């Protein structure tokens, strides 16, 4: 599989990615645990069918010490016993935030309240921003048919 264009090698695309990457960096510094951030990135990418981002974030999570068992169960997190209540709240927020078109009304008040039990206001801002940022990355990569499998942890700094 070849990408439709060399998005990562294009100067104009680089200008766009610079801003998305800057927003992602700010969100990552919010105090939301790294493991939770990676689980959210993986789940959003799975829902959107983004192989490139799923590959990237499972590898980054592994490099950060995440277990294979938990990574294997992200897609089935509701039935898995290996995630904390805070992680579950973040994953549900990520799912509803990603599936806005599928759920009239977007993220429910119940899901938001559950997330607010586990995360302070800054962390909630970071989580909802992370979901939006991942959806943007996913759409760029899916539309461009960016192939998955060759990412190396830390490749993009």
| 32 within a domain of the structure (yes/no) | yes
Tally of domains within the chain: 1
**149 domain residue, yes or no:** no
| 34-84 residue pLDDT tens | 999 999 999 999 999 999 999 999 999 999 999 999 999 999 999 999 999
- Asked if residue 151 is part of any domain, the answer here is no
Check pLDDT > 90 for residue 148. Answer: yes
d(CA 130, CA 124): 10
Mean pLDDT over residues 122-132, rounded? 98
pLDDT at 93: 97
**DSSP letter assigned to residue 78:** T
Asked if residue 156 belongs to a domain, the reply is no
Tell whether 153 is covered by a domain: no
CA dist 72 and 42 (Å) reads 11
Check: CB of residue 61 under 8 Å from CB of residue 42.
yes
- Percentage above 90 pLDDT, the chain: 89
Q: Residue 34 domain-assigned?
A: yes
* 89/138 Cα distance (integer angstroms): 22
The candidate with the shortest Cα–Cα distance to 48, out of 154, 117, 151, 132, is 132
Residue 18 falls inside a structural domain: yes
Q: How confident is the model at residue 101 (pLDDT cuts 50, 70, 90)?
A: confident
Beta carbons of 135 and 23 less than 8 angstroms apart: no
- Establish if 135 belongs to a structural domain: yes
Cα 44 to Cα 138: distance, rounded to the nearest angstrom: 8
Contacts 24+ apart (CB under 8 A), 16-23: 20/133, 20/136, 20/137, 21/156, 23/129, 23/133
- Res. 13 pLDDT band, cuts 50 70 90: very high
Domain of residue 20 covers 7-144
Global pTM reads: 0.95
Residue, of 105 and 129, whose pLDDT is higher? 129
CATH of the domain at 84: 1.20.1290.10
């Amino acid at each position: 599989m070849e990408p439709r264009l060399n998005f990562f090698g294009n100067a104009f695309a680089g200008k766009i990615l610079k801003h998305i990457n800057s927003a992602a960096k700010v969100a990552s510094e919010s105090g939301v645990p790294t493991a939770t951030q990676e689980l959210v990135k993986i789940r959003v990418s799975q829902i959107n069918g983004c192989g490139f981002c799923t590959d990237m974030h499972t590898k980054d999570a592994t490099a950060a010490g995440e277990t294979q068992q938990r990574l294997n169960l992200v897609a089935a997190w509701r039935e898995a016993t290996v995630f904390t209540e805070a992680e579950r709240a973040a994953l549900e927020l990520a799912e509803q935030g990603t599936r806005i078109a599928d759920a009239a009304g977007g993220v429910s008040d119940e899901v938001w309240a559950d997330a607010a039990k586990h995360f302070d206001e800054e962390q909630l801002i970071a989580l909802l921003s992370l979901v939006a940022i991942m959806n943007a990355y996913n759409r760029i990569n899916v539309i461009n048919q960016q192939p998955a499998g060759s990412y190396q942890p830390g490749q993009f700094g």
